[in-house]
Amino acid sequence: MAQVKVFNFSLMTPIDHKKPNGPGADQCEPGDNKPAVTNAFMPFGMGYRGGLSLATGWLAGSLGGAERIVVGQLTGPGEVKVYSSGSRLEGGPKIYRAAADHTPVANFAEIASFKPFDDASGVSVATTSTTSGADLLVSGVSPADKSVQVLKFELVRPDPDAVRLDARQLSTVVSAAGTSALVLGGD
């Protein structure tokens, strides 16, 4: 099973230490000067046994929320999923809507999912850094000509009422005989 775990390493000792509740709470001991598991999830379900590529970044700027996790399947269909700990898609980051005594457990929801290489290739994911957010880089093998490619995407809201984001391809870099280097960086 391919599992993602989210850790928090607090450098501060809480004044009033209350035992948290929720997913991963039994492993979460804030203030013990050790990393605490604040969430764990299996982005591709119990049946997926391949590896994961993992990245974080400020995808979709403030629309995507405060914390984003991007995962890609290293084997199989090469699906990419983006998770957020709360965003404007659902009315604002949950941490801002929660009571002051919120728990340190971070809950992540899927906000985007796509297969950039049409089920033909496992993928690796990374994010760029820009002044207005981040873009998503996905590498894999093209089903058409079997070339290795890096695709650059931005996440966009398809309409004002959408609660999920779509991946819009911005550019492609092909690694094949006779190709020249291109720039995929931020702004």
**What's the token pair of residue 135?**
């873009």
pLDDT at 41: 92
* Rounded distance between C-alpha atoms, residue 77 and residue 43, angstroms: 14
- Alpha carbons 179 and 165: distance in angstroms, whole number: 32
Position 61 scores a pLDDT of: 74
Look at residue 84 in the predicted model and tell me its pLDDT: 86
Closest CA to 38 of 8, 3, 76: 8
DSSP category for residue 93: -
Q: Each residue's pLDDT tens digit in the chain (187 positions)?
A: 899 998 877 666 555 555 555 555 555 554 456 777 888 999 999 999 999 999 998 887 767 666 789 999 999 899 999 998 877 777 655 554 444 444 556 678 899 999 999 988 899 999 987 776 789 999 999 988 888 999 999 999 899 888 899 999 999 888 766 655 555 555 4
Q: What's the pLDDT score for residue 15?
A: 54
User: Contact at 8 Å (CB) between 66 and 89?
Assistant: no
For Cα atoms 45, 39, 157, give the angle at the middle one, nearest 5 degrees. Answer: 70
Contact predicate 104/28, CB 8 Å: yes
Do residues 46 and 33 make contact, with C-beta atoms less than 8 angstroms apart? no
